[in-house]
Structure 1
Amino acid sequence: MKKTIYSGAAVRLVKLLAATAIAIPAIASASALDQFKTFVGSTKSAKGEFTQRQVKVVDGATKVSGQSAGSFAFERPGKFIWTYQKPYEQLLQADGDNLYIYDKDLNQVTIKKLGNALGSSPAAILFGSNDLEKNFTLKDAGTKDGLEWLEATPKTKDTTFDKIGIGLKDGVPRAMELRDSFGQVSLLTFNRFEKNLPMASGQFRFVVPKGADVFQQ
């Protein structure tokens, strides 16, 4: 049996998962918290593109590493496809019951029960239910880089991240900053964010690629 190996970017996103229009003027000027509540309450599905970077401040200098890019699609609650396209191909997909992690280079699939894993993780903000204040303390965090920022602090202490920043504009998340207890920041930037698109029946059903090794966890 092959040893299970994840790339650095996939490991980071698994931690996120286990521990991811035309605006009227009223929305554009609303606080981050108001924009976010409107987004969560009105968005049943979406698709878009993302970039992901690791940022760390060392001796006063900001260092960026591990940049990757890809696309996503989701349907609440708990169904999503998160695809890394650069610098390598990798897939994380959930059907509402299970999370599937597919490494194309290894031709290897790892299956995990989704369960309540999204509850207090950053992924709940995009993929989970509407009851986010059950798991997070939410507050406005001011304006930065042209975005209105919201700070989400997990209410439980057994999560990977201490604080999560969500940057919004025109009622849509444009960025997320995920800060852990070691001072590292994972920065996600979203592009081409399209809300409430019709999703094809069975779109989130995962099919194991031919010949792939499968690991159940």
Structure 2
Amino acid sequence: MIKSLIAGTALALASLAAHADGLQDLERFLKEVGSARSGFTQVVTAPKRSNESVARSKTSSGSFEFLRPNRFRFEYTKPFEQTIVADGETLWLFDVDLNQVTARKQQEVLGSTPAALIAAGTDLRALGEVFELKAAPARDGMEWLEARPLARDGQLQMVRVGFRQGQLAVLDIEDTLGQRSVLTFTNWEGNARLTPERFRFQPPPGADVIRP
């Protein structure tokens, strides 16, 4: 009887550990995943207008990489080419069709963005000084976290982060204008061998460089 009780308790504890909530998944993600690469698909849906029966949406895709702290790279390949690179100091946006580069100080634009949740340092408490973080109910085979910026003067309304078996799977982003952007990650490779050089960006010759 005692042995059965002990065995049952052990199984229950193991089950609880295996089904951690989204907040616990985020904490482990920050501590255990220092870099990653993956593919992604992004669907952006605009608010439905009064004369529309269906909301308008656009789909794009490409590749994503990050290296802690505060380095990441989005390479959009479809339907148009665009590169977004954060090197730790500067956020670069390169529009291939326009041959135009926009460079901004990273510290000024990334404080309370979805990128800060992914590629920041390893301290969950530091994120808690920027976002209100709370676990959300599990759905679609994922554990979820909700993050709301504590500063209400930006465009970001909320980010829902989905983890599947502890691996980052979805970012569901809502802005204050009602636009929704859902990024789904594929072929995730955690702790990929990446170096800071991968996140250095040099504007192409002849490109128009704008520094707002």
Unpaired runs of at least 5, structure 1: 1-23
Tell me the CA shift for residue 97 of structure 1: 0.7
Cα deviations across residues 106-153 of structure 1 (Å, max 9, x unaligned)?
Answer: 111111111243221111011222321111111111022221111111
Which residue of 2 is the match for residue 151 of structure 1? 146
Measured in 2, the distance between the counterparts of 1:154 and 1:197 equals 29
Which residue of 2 is the match for residue 53 of structure 1? 43
- 1:123 matched to 2:115: yes
Q: Which amino acid aligns with 1:51?
A: T
Give the aligned CA root-mean-square deviation in angstroms: 2.2
User: Pick from 181, 187, 193: which aligns with 2:176?
Assistant: 181
Which residue of 1 is the match for residue 31 of structure 2? 41
Cα deviations across residues 53-97 of structure 1 (Å, max 9, x unaligned)?
Answer: 123564897635111001011111221111100001110111111
Q: TM-score normalised to the size of structure 1?
A: 0.81
SS across alignment from 1:63: coil
Measured in 2, the distance between the counterparts of 1:27 and 1:70 equals 34
- 1:84 matched to 2:80: no
Q: Which amino acid aligns with 1:204?
A: F
Greater helix share, 1 or 2? 2
Tell me the CA shift for residue 209 of structure 1: 0.9
Q: Which amino acid aligns with 1:37?
A: E
Measured in 1, the distance between the counterparts of 2:130 and 2:89 equals 20
Do the aligned partners of 2:42 and 2:183 also contact (CA within 8 Å) in 1?
Answer: yes
Tell me the CA shift for residue 183 of structure 1: 2.5
Q: TM-score normalised to the size of structure 2?
A: 0.83
Q: Which amino acid aligns with 1:197?
A: A
Do the aligned partners of 1:52 and 1:69 also contact (CA within 8 Å) in 2?
Answer: yes
Q: Which has the larger radius of gyration?
A: 2
How many residue pairs align between the two structures?
194
Q: Which amino acid aligns with 1:153?
A: R
Measured in 2, the distance between the counterparts of 1:111 and 1:57 equals 29
- 1:172 matched to 2:172: no
Q: Which amino acid aligns with 1:127?
A: A
Distance change in 2, residues 1:142/1:56 (3 Å): farther
Measured in 2, the distance between the counterparts of 1:98 and 1:166 equals 25
Tell me the CA shift for residue 27 of structure 1: 6.2
Which residue of 2 is the match for residue 202 of structure 1? 197
Tell me the CA shift for residue 28 of structure 1: 4.6
Measured in 2, the distance between the counterparts of 1:27 and 1:121 equals 29
User: Pick from 55, 58, 77: which aligns with 1:66?
Assistant: 58
- 1:31 matched to 2:51: no
Distance change in 2, residues 1:169/1:105 (3 Å): same
Measured in 2, the distance between the counterparts of 1:125 and 1:98 equals 18
Q: Which amino acid aligns with 1:126?
A: I
Measured in 1, the distance between the counterparts of 2:77 and 2:17 equals 33
Tell me the CA shift for residue 181 of structure 1: 2.4
Which residue of 1 is the match for residue 99 of structure 2? 107
Tell me the CA shift for residue 201 of structure 1: 5.0
Measured in 1, the distance between the counterparts of 2:45 and 2:18 equals 28
- 1:214 matched to 2:209: yes
SS across alignment from 1:202: helix
